[in-house]
Amino acid sequence: MASLFAENAYLPMGWASNVRIEWEDSEILRVTPQSAPQPEDSRVETLVPAIPNLHSHAFQRVLAGLAESTQGKEDDFWTWREAMYAVAAWINPERLYTIAVQLYGEMVAAGYNHVAEFHYLHQPHPLEMSLALIQAAKDVGIGLTLLPVLYQQGGFGRQALQGPQKGFFLETDEYLRLIEDLRAPCNQQIRLGWAPHSLRAVDTLTLQAVSASLGPLPCHIHISEQMKEVEQCLASYDHRPVQWLYKHMDVSAKWCLVHATHLVADEIQAITSSGATVALCPTTEANLGDGFFSLEAFQKLNGRWGIGSDSNSSVSPFEELRWLEYGQRLLHRKRNIAAGKHGSSGTRLLNGCWTSASAVLDRKVGRLEVGYQADWLVLDSQNPNLFQHAHLLDALVFNGNRNPVLESWVSGRLVAQKGEANYQDPNAFRQLLHDLRGAL
């Protein structure tokens, strides 16, 4: 058994002093506030839960900065997608591993403890591509929920896949076999879910059949990210995407709806009533010009949401939360949207992340509590933005860009310290970027 003593720790009931935490085999066994340190304890000043990342495409990390110039025509999500496809076609298992090691190291150093990897680069080696991500997560030490993606058509109305999209395709029986093959490497750190890419990429009968087969697993799906998608869904199904999903599927607390940017009132009601979680990816949604999520209306109905780094052009949970709140302030032209009528924006934003993740990641995370995974962040007591701050959670989100994380722990193991992952290979990543520039 291992143990740690924190002068201050953020527990489910709020801040507590002189907290002793004991854990074994990655699981917290005891949390004792108002205790005395023991000789065997590691000692820290300030401890908070680590932050789950609900949505990532690891390979897109190398696209950062490559799609920020125009080519004589209007630029939007759909033109960006063509640049992304070109990168996707270049990825093989070895390259994917190198990218994921770099990215997952950046994540743990920034404060993420677990990532939901929305993975659709299957061909020509489906199992090897998935195993590359699993090995990268194990080497870095981050928790991983691998979400192999079902991607079978190029748009509503069973449009054929085009060009690089064909590398995302698996027949339904191949897909189910891949899921079965990936159960073996799973453990407390590595979890498994499934992911229909979007309503435009999977037909109704297949979606229902696969859902019935994989029912207990978490399910993540892109939905209503772009108005064009909403308009196409209305034209094809006579329903908006979320309306259609709830009419045809048994959506539960195991479901994670990614983006859900463009919602109307009955869709917000459906999501909040079902207990599903929305994965918001503010820096990516801003980069792609998606629009603004209906956060204020969603929170009034006690909706569950978390954050994701998505395209990974930014890898900071605090920046995601800051963008989320600032976007809402710009939209509504008022302040402290997340806080509601009473409270703190930083506290509400971080609690949103901490309380939403366990069901959709299939891993007990986000709380310093008995039975949960031993995942936490030791904050940097030398960071001037955090000095004796009466509103520490607000300071984490809104006070500057200096990384506030001194140490990052996952499954009871120290995986990053002073802004650097313990396992990394920056030279391999630099060489990969050089090779990519040459290939493009």
CATH number of the domain bearing residue 44: 2.30.40.10
Residue 119 has pLDDT above 70, yes or no: yes
Please report whether residue 429 resides in a domain: no
Across the range 151-165, mean pLDDT stands at 93
Both 213 and 310 in a single domain?
A: yes
Indicate which CATH number applies to the domain containing 140: 3.20.20.140
Residue 390 has pLDDT above 90, yes or no: no
Please state which of the ranges 31-45, 335-349, 411-425 shows the lowest mean pLDDT: 335-349
Both 29 and 97 in a single domain?
A: no
Residue 361 has pLDDT above 90, yes or no: yes
What pLDDT does residue 74 have?
66
Please state which of the ranges 60-64, 167-171, 189-193, 402-406 shows the lowest mean pLDDT: 60-64
Please report whether residue 45 resides in a domain: yes
Q: How many domains does the chain have?
A: 2
Catalytic residue among 55, 197, 222, 259: 259
| Average per-residue pLDDT for the chain | 95
What tokens were used for 111? 């404060």
Both 314 and 267 in a single domain?
A: yes
Residue 80 has pLDDT above 90, yes or no: no
CB atoms within 10 A of CB 429: 18
What share of the chain has pLDDT > 70, as a percent? 97
What pLDDT does residue 102 have?
98
What pLDDT does residue 385 have?
86
Across the range 82-100, mean pLDDT stands at 92
State the pLDDT confidence band at 375, using cuts at 50, 70 and 90: very high
Residue 389 has pLDDT above 80, yes or no: no
What pLDDT does residue 68 have?
67
Across the range 276-291, mean pLDDT stands at 96
Both 118 and 203 in a single domain?
A: yes
What pLDDT does residue 399 have?
87
Please report whether residue 439 resides in a domain: no
Residue 331 has pLDDT above 80, yes or no: yes
Q: How far is CA 426 from CA 65, 431, 432, in A?
A: 18, 9, 10
Domain-ending residue, one of 309, 336, 361: 361
Residue 354 has pLDDT above 70, yes or no: yes
Q: How far is CA 344 from CA 11, 228, 388, 390, 394, in A?
A: 16, 35, 17, 12, 7
Closest CA to 409 of 15, 58, 2: 2
Please report whether residue 436 resides in a domain: no
Please report whether residue 426 resides in a domain: no
Both 87 and 18 in a single domain?
A: no
Please state which of the ranges 12-21, 156-165, 368-377, 380-389 shows the lowest mean pLDDT: 380-389
Both 226 and 79 in a single domain?
A: yes
Does residue 239 carry a catalytic annotation? no
Q: How far is CA 372 from CA 12, 134, 232, 266, 366, in A?
A: 12, 22, 42, 34, 8
Both 35 and 137 in a single domain?
A: no
What share of the chain has pLDDT > 90, as a percent? 88
What pLDDT does residue 232 have?
97
Segment 285-315, tens digit of pLDDT: 999 999 999 999 999 999 999 999 999 999 9
Please state which of the ranges 94-108, 311-325, 332-346 shows the lowest mean pLDDT: 332-346
Both 382 and 348 in a single domain?
A: no
Q: Does residue 39 have a cis peptide bond before it, meaning omega lies within 30 degrees of 0?
A: no
Across the range 86-113, mean pLDDT stands at 97
Across the range 353-357, mean pLDDT stands at 97
Both 257 and 375 in a single domain?
A: no
Decide: pTM greater than 0.85.
yes
Please report whether residue 407 resides in a domain: yes
> Higher model confidence: residue 391 or residue 136?
136
Q: Which amino acid is at 24?
A: E
Both 112 and 22 in a single domain?
A: no
Residue 108 has pLDDT above 70, yes or no: yes
Closest CA to 226 of 288, 149, 145, 305: 288
Catalytic residue among 139, 310, 380, 394: 310
Beta carbons of 97 and 131 less than 8 angstroms apart:
no
Residue 92 has pLDDT above 70, yes or no: yes
State the pLDDT confidence band at 75, using cuts at 50, 70 and 90: low
Both 287 and 390 in a single domain?
A: no
Q: How far apart are CA 134 and CA 138, in angstroms?
A: 6
Residue 69 has pLDDT above 70, yes or no: no
Both 317 and 265 in a single domain?
A: yes
Please report whether residue 431 resides in a domain: no
State the pLDDT confidence band at 67, using cuts at 50, 70 and 90: low
Domain-ending residue, one of 361, 387, 407: 361
Please report whether residue 427 resides in a domain: no
Does residue 259 carry a catalytic annotation? yes
What pLDDT does residue 440 have?
74
219 φ, ψ to 5°? -125, 125
Residues spanned by the domain of 396:
2-49+369-421
Across the range 236-259, mean pLDDT stands at 98
Residue 338 has pLDDT above 70, yes or no: yes
